[in-house]
């Protein structure tokens, strides 16, 4: 992997400007709200960040406070940058941590609703749009706190030997984010030299030990306004290819990172900028305007065509210094009506017919056509017929048609930039300069194939990798065997280039196989978008999602009690506890009087059973046992369960109405019993056994008995 080396002005500046979610009421429809309008407010947070050669894993723990005197239920909204995946989710029920598990989405939603109806404390997290995740949280008790945990991970893109990680605040709804306490911890591995790291401008003192840097900072009573940003820079005299190999059981996975040399276009650039001003991007209109103005400055000649169901034109010719004119043009526009994407593309291509030099289209949109031709075939067909004109997409909004937009860039040898929801205008401008500028001004390189001289590469994702000069691309692959440490990986490109890097020693790096799995899922999702759903593809997506714990459109995280203890009331003669833990392969019960029992699975009921007797010296009362549960991957978690020891038999009062009856008439047996009475049985004179059930109308447990053909007498 790449090492950070010292150069002329060596430093890594790590500005952590924070990224957190909010719990919003389900009924809230306002686009922008104040923090004091919320029933549940952010209270405390802890953020742990670990960076391993451009791969980041972040753990966020957030505490929320219900400041009202009633139960609260809400939607937790959390945005992620492009390339990141949620890989862990947990809620807390008081002092008990309830970790989330990946389930098929429909099943997770069904279980969530069932548990909520039973007043059990569940949480569910699933994607609502591209890289915006929501979790339903219920209930949050009056004047109490609620703790949530999120873990997310991904490979940070490298551009011109620099890496930036941008993670915004909760999308668009709120302008500031107060916290009573915030702690940020940082671990950096694989870097040779770090000079400066700061958290919101506050320096973090770093300590180096065993090849890693660690540091932390704690802030109190702060208010956050910006996104989390991690930024660091490499030296420029490094190999354009680096390779990592890892083995997982019998499978071998690899990751190749490739940054081709920079080759800039020499011609002048004529750009048509298509800016979406439909109702669906109204909340992002400022970012649309910023994107258009910043992109216009990159071209020698440009026209801006704003579109919804009509076209509004701004002819710029040379940019010179037209910022004020452009701002005035946009100030006269109010986003409204539908999106006619086909009409906008047609207008852009016609306008480019009369230009010379390098012709490009820049499309700023969420990519959801709603008027005119809304089917994708005519839209993609139009782009294919103009494949010599690249399309560079700046995608933004809360509902992005990512598959359609990706296809438009692929058919035209273009590229796409996803703007995180909630990004500020300044952050958008920085991303245009950092990403869109090299896209427009540099030649792309396509990887034709990769080979290893010791082993066969079985599959690779993405299938086609197009990389712009100086911008790092990532290839995840699987091999038929583990190559030797002195093996070489070769990358071949469409321009005749041949690049290589040593494989080196394999590492125990979990993210290598995870990146292959996410690449495989992306490939299957593309096939589904193009060809429709097939059970085998969906089942594979769900299986990979469960194995590597990341959320897909077909899966969700469900955080609910993983074991239910039955019965809750124990008598000394009770022979066993029954534990409902469907994902477990082993359950150990530690009883409060020191006894530890390995539960046995009943193959008929699929329940775990732990047989024991309550010692005679145990007094009546509530007791806590600890369940240690192991799943098939070897992961363990502990869960506390309570039960009641009750040695006193119920004291009951019984009535029989009427007290005189003839054969064939009905008698009602009515019993008044304490609330903790579990079962009441009655044996009738003719030998039948009846089970009495509680009836609200009688405020008692009752059973109905038809008097049989008994001889007259007293029974």
Three-state DSSP state, 380: helix
Q: Give the length of the chain.
A: 715
Beta bridge partners of 484: none
Does residue 479 surpass a pLDDT of 90? Answer: yes
What's the pLDDT score for residue 686?
Answer: 87
User: Quick one: pLDDT at residue 277?
Assistant: 93
Q: 471 with 158: CB under 8 angstroms?
A: yes
**Residues 703, 691: contact at Cβ < 8 Å?**
yes
Matching residue, tokens 């065509």: 305
Hey, is 410 helix, strand or coil?
A: helix
What distance in Å separates the CA atoms of residue 345 and residue 341, rounded to the nearest whole number?
A: 6
Compute the average pLDDT of residues 396-404: 85
**pLDDT-derived band at 294, boundaries 50, 70, 90:** very high
The torsion defined by the Cα of 328, 330, 336 and 337, in degrees rounded to 10, comes to 110
State both tokens at 643. Answer: 């039960």
CA–CA dist 194, 253 (Å, integer): 30
332 CB-near residues (< 8 Å, 6+ apart) = none
- Which residues have CB under 8 Å from 9's CB, separation 6+? none
What is the largest distance, in Å, between two alpha-carbon atoms of the chain? 114
Give the strand pairing for 358-365 and 269-276: parallel
* Per-residue pLDDT tens over the stretch 104-119: 888 888 777 766 655 5
Q: What count of other Cβ atoms lies within 10 Å of the Cβ of residue 412?
A: 20
d(CA 267, CA 247): 47
Give 607-631 pLDDT, tens digit per residue. Answer: 888 888 888 788 888 888 888 888 7
Q: What is the DSSP string of 496-554?
A: S-EEEEE--S----HHHHHHHHHHHHHHHHHHHHHH---HHHHHHHHHHHHHHT---TT
pTM score: 0.71
- Give the model confidence (pLDDT) of 204-237 as tens digits: 677 777 777 788 878 788 776 666 566 666 555 5
Write phi, then psi, for 697 (nearest 5 degrees): -65, -35
The residues facing 228 across adjacent strands are 167
Mean pLDDT of the region 5-17: 31
Strands (E) in 162-298, as ranges, are 162-167, 177-189, 198-199, 202-203, 207-209, 212-224, 228-233, 241-248, 251-258, 269-276
**How many other C-beta atoms are found inside a 10 Å radius of the C-beta of residue 418?**
19
Tokens coding 567: 């019965």
> Residue 196 pLDDT more than 60?
no
């Amino acid at each position: 992997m790449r090492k950070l080396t010292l150069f002329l002005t060596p430093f890594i500046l790590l500005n952590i400007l924070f990224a957190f979610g909010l719990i919003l009421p389900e009924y809230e429809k306002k686009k922008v709200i104040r923090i004091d309008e919320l029933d549940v407010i952010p209270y405390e947070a802890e953020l742990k960040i670990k960076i391993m050669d451009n791969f980041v894993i972040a753990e966020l723990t957030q505490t929320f406070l219900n400041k009202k005197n009633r139960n609260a239920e809400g939607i937790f909204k959390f945005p992620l940058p492009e390339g990141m995946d949620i890989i862990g989710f947990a809620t807390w029920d008081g002092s008990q941590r309830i970790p989330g598990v990946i389930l098929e989405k429909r099943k997770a939603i069904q279980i969530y609703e069932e548990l909520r109806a039973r007043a059990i404390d569940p949480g569910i997290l699933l994607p609502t749009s591209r890289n915006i995740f929501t979790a339903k949280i219920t209930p949050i008790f009056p004047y109490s706190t609620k703790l949530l945990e999120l873990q997310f991970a991904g490979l940070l893109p490298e551009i011109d030997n620099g890496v930036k990680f941008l993670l915004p605040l909760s999308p668009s709804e709120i302008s500031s984010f107060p916290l009573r306490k915030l702690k940020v911890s940082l671990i950096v591995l694989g870097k040779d030299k770090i000079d400066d790291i700061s958290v919101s401008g506050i320096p973090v003192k770093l300590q180096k030990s065993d090849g890693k840097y660690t540091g932390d900072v704690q802030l109190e009573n702060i208010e956050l306004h910006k996104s989390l940003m991690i930024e660091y820079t490499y030296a420029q005299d490094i190999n354009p290819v680096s390779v990592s190999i890892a083995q997982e059981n019998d499978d071998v996975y690899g990751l190749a990172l490739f940054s081709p040399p920079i080759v800039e276009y020499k011609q002048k650039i004529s750009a048509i900028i298509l800016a979406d001003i439909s109702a669906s991007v109204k909340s992002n209109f400022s970012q649309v305007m910023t994107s258009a103005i910043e992109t216009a400055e990159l071209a020698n000649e440009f026209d801006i065509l704003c579109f919804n169901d009509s076209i509004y034109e701004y002819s710029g010719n040379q940019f010179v210094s037209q910022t004020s004119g452009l701002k005035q043009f946009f100030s006269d526009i109010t986003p409204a009506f539908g999106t006619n994407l086909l009409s906008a593309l047609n207008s852009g291509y016609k306008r480019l017919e009369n230009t010379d030099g390098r012709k490009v289209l820049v499309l700023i949109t969420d990519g959801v056509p709603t008027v005119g031709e809304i089917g994708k075939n005519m839209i993609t067909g139009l782009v294919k017929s103009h494949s010599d004109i690249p399309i560079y997409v700046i995608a933004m909004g809360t509902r992005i048609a990512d598959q359609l937009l990706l296809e438009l860039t692929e058919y035209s040898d273009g590229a796409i930039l996803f703007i995180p929801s909630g990004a500020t205008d300044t952050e958008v401008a920085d991303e245009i300069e950092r990403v869109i500028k090299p896209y427009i001004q540099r030649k792309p390189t396509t990887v034709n194939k990769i080979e290893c001289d010791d082993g066969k590469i079985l599959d690779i994702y993405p299938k086609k990798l197009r990389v712009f000069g100086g911008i790092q691309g990532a290839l995840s692959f699987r091999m038929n065997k583990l190559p030797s440490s002195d093996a070489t990986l070769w990358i071949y490109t469409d321009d005749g280039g041949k690049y290589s890097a040593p494989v080196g020693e394999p590492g125990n790096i979990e993210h290598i196989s995870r990146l292959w799995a996410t690449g495989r899922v992306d490939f299957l999702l593309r096939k589904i978008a193009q060809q429709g759903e097939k059970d085998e593809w969906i089942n594979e997506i769900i299986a990979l999602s469960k194995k590597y714990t990341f959320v897909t459109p077909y899966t969700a995280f469900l955080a609910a009690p993983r074991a239910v203890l039955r019965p809750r009331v124990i008598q000394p003669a009770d022979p066993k506890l029954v534990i409902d833990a469907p994902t477990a392969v082993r359950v150990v019960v530690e009883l409060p009087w020191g006894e530890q029992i390995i539960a046995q699975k009943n193959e008929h009921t699929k329940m775990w059973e732990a047989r024991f007797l309550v010692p005679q010296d145990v007094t009546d009362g509530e007791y806590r046992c600890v369940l240690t549960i192991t799943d098939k991957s070897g992961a363990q978690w502990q869960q506390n369960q309570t039960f009641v020891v009750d040695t006193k038999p119920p004291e009951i009062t019984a009535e029989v109405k009427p007290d005189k009856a003839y054969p064939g008439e009905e008698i009602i047996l009515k019993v008044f019993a304490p609330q903790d009475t579990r079962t009441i049985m009655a044996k009738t004179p003719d030998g039948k056994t009846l089970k009495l059930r509680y009836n609200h109308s009688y405020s008692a447990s009752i059973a109905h008995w038809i008097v049989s053909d008994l001889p007259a007498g007293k029974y």
